[in-house]
Structure 1
Amino acid sequence: MKDRSAMRLARLQQALAGGGTLPLGEAAQMCGVSEMTIRRDVAASDGAMMLLGGRLVMANHYAPVYDLDQQQDSHALAKRRLCEQAARFIEDGDTLFIDCGTTLLPLAGMLARGSQLTVVTYALNVANAVSLVPSVRLVLLGGLYHTTSHSFGSDDMSAAIKRLGINRAFISAAGVHAERGVSCFHFHEVAPKQAAIACAAQRLLVVDESKIGQIRPAYFAKLDDFDVVITDGDMAPSPENGGPRIVAA
């Protein structure tokens, strides 16, 4: 039995060798066993693989836990510099999509008082900060509240975002990889991120250097889906007529 388990684990590791994730159901079908058997195999393994949100991932590609309080303190000065650069793109009258997490939280405090802006967000911490700027109109997208990321998720959130005229979408990420694309920790964030990217007139990715080269469980975009990348990390300038513009913070 142990030999069969080892063979299944080896097959799954081979399937995940290039990165990304594998749904538990597909893993079970691939190995010709039940999902419970795959769960037991992974639990009894050496920790090379792990289950996140019903998906198998290679443990060395992912951080095991997303801690919002820890992220809040991490690279705080860098995040403020990134948001200072991001704020320069905002024009009076814009409708802005501001993503969840901690990277873009300082941006809420940089919105000019008296300006005619609308902010769309599904993040409670961002909404709380924006609510302190009286002249800014706030659209908070609701649904099921996820404590881990202080954000909401719902089945109809994408449709709600696409009904809005968004001038600029400021998107955060937990991982930016040259081959594996842009990713985050939580699968409920994928739909609103993709909807904002699809309908915004300008798409801006804002990431500090700790995210560069990382792969997280939930893929949501290619790097080329963005018009601008604002970062303090080491990213090669995009080629002319292709790829996003790189703005150093």
Structure 2
Amino acid sequence: MKARRLQDIEEYVHSHKNVTLDELCQKFDVSKNTIRRDISQIVRKGSIEKVYGGVASTTDPIPFENRGSKHSFEKNGISHLAASCIEENDLIFIDSGTTTCHMAKYFPTNISFTILTNSLDIINGAAELPLVNLLVIGNTFKQKTKSFVGIDEPRMLDKYNVNKAFMAATGVSITHGLTNSDLLEFEIKKIIAQKAEKLILLADSSKFGKSTLLTYASLEDVDIIVSSNPLTNQFQAFCAAHNIEVKTS
């Protein structure tokens, strides 16, 4: 219970940049003494610092355009392996993200399939393939993540029978599942994750054991995890217990 609260407090501070102790007490329904002890424990990690009347995040988010270079070798290997899961006549969804975007390099060129996506990188990569039918969702372009976000009518996605959804996540946790931080992206992710026949998660080793603000799917809902390195014993045991296939590049 305490470990989860510490994680939630840390994430809350990072998402809000600066927060007061009173705000944290109200948010997490604990006393000021408890918050002070929790903050002292988190501060030792170096990710937040005490300021007058509260705390502040010391971790600057990495811009999306620079995140692709981090773990780039891993991301390419993951995407190559994930693309090998595409079969003739599949209707697949490809999520926006710095790992999923690499799939465009490895699309099979000798089979017909349909891509549903909100990722600009995937749109550009698929546009030149004559056998690919390309469907785009999202009504607002978000330059920071190179994705189209927001849908006027969530039921519009009901007409698509998605065989496989290739999903990205900012964090992957046994407790919190597949998480991200953007409310507009979250809406599309959650709907697709619920309706896809097969949910395929692409995540490099840095994503596991972390969580962010919003959970769009439980980890047990995943059918296949494609990653770069063997998972920790804890994640391996969870996957075995829930019949989740693990592929490593």
The amino acid across from 1:164 in the alignment is Y
- 1: CA distance, partners of 2:172 / 2:214: 12
Q: Name the structure where helix makes up a greater proportion of residues.
A: 2
The amino acid across from 1:109 in the alignment is K
Cα pair 2:75 2:228 within 8 Å, conserved: no
- 2: CA distance, partners of 1:188 / 1:16: 26
Cα pair 1:66 1:185 within 8 Å, conserved: no
For structure 1, which runs of at least 5 residues remain unmatched after alignment? 1-12, 32-41, 49-58
Alignment partner of 2:115: what SS? strand
- 2: CA distance, partners of 1:203 / 1:14: 29
Which residues of 2 match residues 6-45 of structure 1 at below 5 A? 16-19=5-8, 21=12, 30=26, 45=53
Cα pair 1:223 1:243 within 8 Å, conserved: no
Specify the alignment match of 1:148 in structure 2: 144
Cα gap change, 1:241 to 1:65, in 2 (>3 Å): closer
The amino acid across from 2:246 in the alignment is I
- 2: CA distance, partners of 1:159 / 1:115: 29
> Which of residues 119, 123, 135 is equivalent to 1:127?
123
Runs of 4+ in structure 1 deviating by more than 6 angstroms, as ranges, are none
Cα pair 2:223 2:243 within 8 Å, conserved: yes
CA-based RMSD of the aligned residues comes to 3.0
Which residues of 2 match residues 192-211 of structure 1 at below 5 A? 192-211=188-207
Specify the alignment match of 1:244 in structure 2: 244
The amino acid across from 2:157 in the alignment is I
In the superposition, the TM-score normalised over structure 1's length comes to 0.74
User: Alignment identity in percent?
Assistant: 21
The amino acid across from 1:118 in the alignment is T
Cα pair 1:169 1:200 within 8 Å, conserved: yes
Specify the alignment match of 2:93 in structure 1: 97
The amino acid across from 1:162 in the alignment is D
**2:223 equivalent to 1:223:** no
Which residues of 2 match residues 35-184 of structure 1 at below 5 A? 45-48=53-56, 59=57, 64-156=60-152, 158-184=154-180
Cα pair 1:96 1:168 within 8 Å, conserved: yes
Cα pair 1:226 1:243 within 8 Å, conserved: no
For structure 2, which runs of at least 5 residues remain unmatched after alignment? 17-22, 28-49
